[in-house]
């Protein structure tokens, strides 16, 4: 059932077995998993079914650290959350990402990859992906395109899967609307958390117009995204002076993003080198794969390197074959054309149409090149640039904080102080050196490093992945939540989403966000089932 | 100007033909003549004579990655196993192949140097330096 809080007339508090604040990929997955086990869920979403500027404005805030990021537009305050504009690239975190690594301070999860594997399987289905198989070797036999002949002791191929991408608002609206176990309220902004004896007594929600409702439940979950999760805890200061869960000044700290950059280039000795394995989306038995290059984990451990997967972006001698026109406008245009061609209504037509109209120059170039490619022989490959979302190391000085400006509810807005350590880019440069060595050893060509020494931080942009602000650790002195995502200092409050990541690896986070939500459901179900029986 | 007679034309053609035969025979014969010194300059011929080579060579010397003395540089490069083999061969194709293999081995074993961001094997970068030194010394 889906209810608009603006049209709801609350006589008394809403009561459920679990109250979830936030209907993004984590909140929706958790709600559906719990509902499937017969558990009553109250799912509260601050936004509406689609984008609403007035609600989205609550995400505005100041950026005081590295400026190549964004706090207002990269996340979406609406049903389905940021899956409303994500691009869909997926991979699980690697086993090494869970380890306490030498040379990576504050690394190490209290759980391992094997703890998440069964939940990754569940997450695959939610994100409309193929089988839970990310070992390139398991796919290789079914791929026609040749792999570069690189020494596997130096560099390996890494497989990623591509989600359609799943728009949770479209894909799961009906499931939630028709569920007897889920009551989902729209336009319900979390404005207060009442604590009673170190446990949450109720969450209070309000519409922008001031209509409020309280939700009582044995268990509460905050699933509002990597920035908002921290902002919520920090703003709840009525009963705990530093905010909920912030006894050790950890909430908001260790903010991480992926270091998005396209830098360093391989110049190939053979201009007819076949890069089709790396520069195209490969469709294998219904699963879309992207292949990148990755160092062996033994090399990362030995040289204390952060994780990275480099995707190759070919540059052709004839610009007709280059894809540098692919901006937001082109992606929107392309998705509309594909939808119309298959007789479907385009996803978010108005938004895509406007994106396309505002980028007509890129679309003109793209259309011209696509037409010309039918008549011209594919040009020679001049080079391939390395594009990546490289791992950022956890850093307590990189943080989400509360600014002095307040919103309509009197809550202080979020500020973002994204701090990138030079050592993170040093690590990426050394990673590229390893790739260059492998390319040279194979006689394929030479690599030109794009990261100077000392590094220029300006080459890095946000990956739009907000992580680490309520990090997971067994000790309350080192983490906000425990291994089950429960806030250490509150008996029945859980955090869901990428805010619990102690380290971020190099994999896009959505698959892990959904897997952790499925795992949280498995953790909550036995307790809730027992409570229901009593 | 005198007339070109048949005798003159045949004479010129004959001399040219004999010259060509002599040159070809000399090249063929020289393949079997043992050399008593390492022909380091033959290695230099394996690097292209272009601006990039000169730029890399100059940068290698200027940064101190390579000695400015050609003799010292020759000793250093010649110490590498595949280069030693390359120096002992007279076939340009085989020599080039051996130099390329030595470069691959450099990369595999981590003997690399960065020049203007380009990640190069020590061998190729030092050969560029040798080519640059040789060119400037001759000039």
Whether B106 sits inside 8 A of A446 (CB atoms) is no
Per-residue pLDDT averaged across A7-18, rounded?
90
Q: Is residue B113 predicted with pLDDT exceeding 60? A: yes
Provide residues of B within 8 Å CB-CB of chain A: 100, 103-108, 110, 112, 114, 117-121
pLDDT mean across residues, chain A: 94
pLDDT 10s digits, A484-497: 999 999 999 999 99
- Shared-domain flag, residues B58 and B19: no
User: Between A154, A437, A446, which is nearest B118 by CB?
Assistant: A446
In order of their start, the domains of chain A are: 1-128+166-257+466-534 (3.50.50.60), 132-162+259-317+380-390+421-459 (no CATH), 318-377 (no CATH)
- Shared-domain flag, residues B25 and B90: no
Per-residue pLDDT averaged across A13-30, rounded?
97
- Shared-domain flag, residues B125 and B96: yes
User: Between B108, B118, B120, which is nearest A441 by CB?
Assistant: B108
Percent of all residues in chain A with a pLDDT value above 90, rounded to a whole number? 82
pLDDT 10s digits, A89-128: 999 999 999 999 999 999 999 999 999 999 999 999 999 9
ipTM (interface predicted TM): 0.75
- Shared-domain flag, residues B49 and B67: yes
pLDDT 10s digits, A167-195: 999 999 999 999 999 999 999 999 999 99
A3 touches chain B (CB under 8 A): no
- Shared-domain flag, residues B74 and B19: no
Which range is most confident: A505-509, B7-11, B61-65? A505-509
- Shared-domain flag, residues B24 and B69: no
- Shared-domain flag, residues B2 and B60: no
- Shared-domain flag, residues B51 and B86: yes
Poorest-confidence range of A7-16, A189-198, A218-227? A7-16
- Shared-domain flag, residues B24 and B49: no
Per-residue pLDDT averaged across A74-85, rounded?
95
Q: Is residue B106 predicted with pLDDT exceeding 70? A: yes
At B34 the pLDDT is 54
A448 touches chain B (CB under 8 A): yes
pLDDT mean across residues, chain B: 86
At A351 the pLDDT is 76
At B1 the pLDDT is 59
Q: How many CB atoms lie within 10 A of CB A144?
A: 8
At A200 the pLDDT is 98
A443 touches chain B (CB under 8 A): yes
The domain in which residue B14 lies consists of 1-33
| Cβ-based contacts of A151 with chain B (< 8 Å) | 108
pLDDT 10s digits, A337-369: 888 888 888 777 777 788 888 888 889 988 988
- Shared-domain flag, residues B21 and B83: no
User: Between A151, A436, A452, which is nearest B119 by CB?
Assistant: A436
At A12 the pLDDT is 84
- Shared-domain flag, residues B62 and B129: yes
pLDDT 10s digits, A247-283: 999 999 999 999 999 999 999 988 888 999 998 899 9
Size of interface A-B (CB pairs under 8 A): 46
Q: How many CB atoms lie within 10 A of CB A276?
A: 14
Phi, psi dihedral angles at A261 (to 5 degrees): -155, 150
Per-residue pLDDT averaged across B113-128, rounded?
94
3-class SS letters over A56-81: HHHHCCEECCCCCCCCCCCCCCCCCH
Q: Please name every residue paired with B119 in a beta bridge, in sequence order, or none if there are none.
A: A447, B114
| C-alpha pair distances (Å), A112 with each of A94, A95, A115, A117 | 10, 7, 5, 9
Q: Is residue A163 predicted with pLDDT exceeding 70? A: yes
User: Between A438, A443, A449, which is nearest B114 by CB?
Assistant: A449
Poorest-confidence range of A17-26, A427-436, B42-51? B42-51
At B138 the pLDDT is 59
| Residue B4, token pair as written in the block | 């070109």
At B37 the pLDDT is 46
- Shared-domain flag, residues B60 and B103: yes
The number of domains in chain B is 2
Distance CA A501, CA A505 (A): 9
Distance CA A347, CA A165 (A): 11
Per-residue pLDDT averaged across A217-221, rounded?
97
| Cβ-based contacts of A449 with chain B (< 8 Å) | 114, 117-119
């Amino acid at each position: 059932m889906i209810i608009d809080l603006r049209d709801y007339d609350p006589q008394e508090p809403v009561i459920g077995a679990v109250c979830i604040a936030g209907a993004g990929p984590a909140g929706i997955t958790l709600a559906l998993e719990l509902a499937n086990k017969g558990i009553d869920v109250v799912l509260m979403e601050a936004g509406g079914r689609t984008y609403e500027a007035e609600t989205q404005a609550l995400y505005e805030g100041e950026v005081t650290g590295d400026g190549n990021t964004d706090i207002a537009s990269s996340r979406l305050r609406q049903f389905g959350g940021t899956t409303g504009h994500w691009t869909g690239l997926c991979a699980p975190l690697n086993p090494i990402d869970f380890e306490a690594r030498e040379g990576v301070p504050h690394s190490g999860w209290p759980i391992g990859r094997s703890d998440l594997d069964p939940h990754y399987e569940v997450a695959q289905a939610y994100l409309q992906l193929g089988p839970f198989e990310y070992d390139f070797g398991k796919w290789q036999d079914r791929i026609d395109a040749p792999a570069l002949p690189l020494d596997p002791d130096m560099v390996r191929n890494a497989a990623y899967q591509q989600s359609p991408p799943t728009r949770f608002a479209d894909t799961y609206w009906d499931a939630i609307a028709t569920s007897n176990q889920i009551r989902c309220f729209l336009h319900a902004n979390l404005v207060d958390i009442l604590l009673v004896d170190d446990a949450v007594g109720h969450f209070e929600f309000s519409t922008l117009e001031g209509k409020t409702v309280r939700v009582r439940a044995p268990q509460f979950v905050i699933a509002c995204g990597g920035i908002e999760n921290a902002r919520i805890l920090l703003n709840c200061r009525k009963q705990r002076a530093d905010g909920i869960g912030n006894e050790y000044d950890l909430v908001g700290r260790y903010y991480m993003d992926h270091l998005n950059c396209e830098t360093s280039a391989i110049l190939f000795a053979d201009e007819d080198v076949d890069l089709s394995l790396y520069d195209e989306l490969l469709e294998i038995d219904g699963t879309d794969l992207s292949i990148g290059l990755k160092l062996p984990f033994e090399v990362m451990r030995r040289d204390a390197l952060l994780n990275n997967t480099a995707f190759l972006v070919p540059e052709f001698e004839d610009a007709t074959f280059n894809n540098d026109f692919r901006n937001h406008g082109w992606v929107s245009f392309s998705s509309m054309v594909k939808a119309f061609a298959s007789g479907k209504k385009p996803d978010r037509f108005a938004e895509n149409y406007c994106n396309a109209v505002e980028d007509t120059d890129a679309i003109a170039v793209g259309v011209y090149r696509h037409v010309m490619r039918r008549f011209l022989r594919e040009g020679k490959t001049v080079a391939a640039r390395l594009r990546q979302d490289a791992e950022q190391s956890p850093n307590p000085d990189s943080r989400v904080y509360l600014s002095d400006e307040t919103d309509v509810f009197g809550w202080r807005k979020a500020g973002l102080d994204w701090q990138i350590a030079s050592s993170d880019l040093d690590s990426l440069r050394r990673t590229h050196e390893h790739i260059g060595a492998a390319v040279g050893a194979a006689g394929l060509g030479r690599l030109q490093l794009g990261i100077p020494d000392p590094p220029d931080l300006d080459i890095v942009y946000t990956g739009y992945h907000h992580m680490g602000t309520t990090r997971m650790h067994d000790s309350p002195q080192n983490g906000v939540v425990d291994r089950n995502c429960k806030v250490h200092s509150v008996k029945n409050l859980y955090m869901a989403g990428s805010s619990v990541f102690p380290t971020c690896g190099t994999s896009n986070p959505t698959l892990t966000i959904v897997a952790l939500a499925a795992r949280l459901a498995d953790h909550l179900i036995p307790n809730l089932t027992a409570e229901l029986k009593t | 100007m005198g007339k070109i007679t048949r005798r003159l034309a045949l004479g010129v053609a004959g001399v040219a033909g004999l010259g060509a035969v002599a040159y070809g025979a000399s090249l063929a014969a020289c393949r079997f003549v043992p050399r008593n010194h390492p022909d380091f300059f033959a290695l230099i011929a394996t690097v292209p004579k272009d601006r990039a080579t000169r730029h890399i060579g100059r940068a290698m010397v200027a940064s101190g990655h390579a000695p400015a003395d050609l003799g010292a540089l020759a000793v250093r490069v010649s110490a590498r196993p595949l280069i030693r083999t390359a120096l002992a061969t007279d076939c340009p194709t085989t020599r080039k192949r051996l130099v390329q293999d030595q470069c691959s081995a450099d990369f595999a074993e981590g003997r690399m140097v960065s020049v203007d961001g380009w990640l190069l094997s020590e061998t190729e970068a030092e050969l560029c330096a040798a080519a640059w030194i040789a060119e400037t010394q001759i000039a």
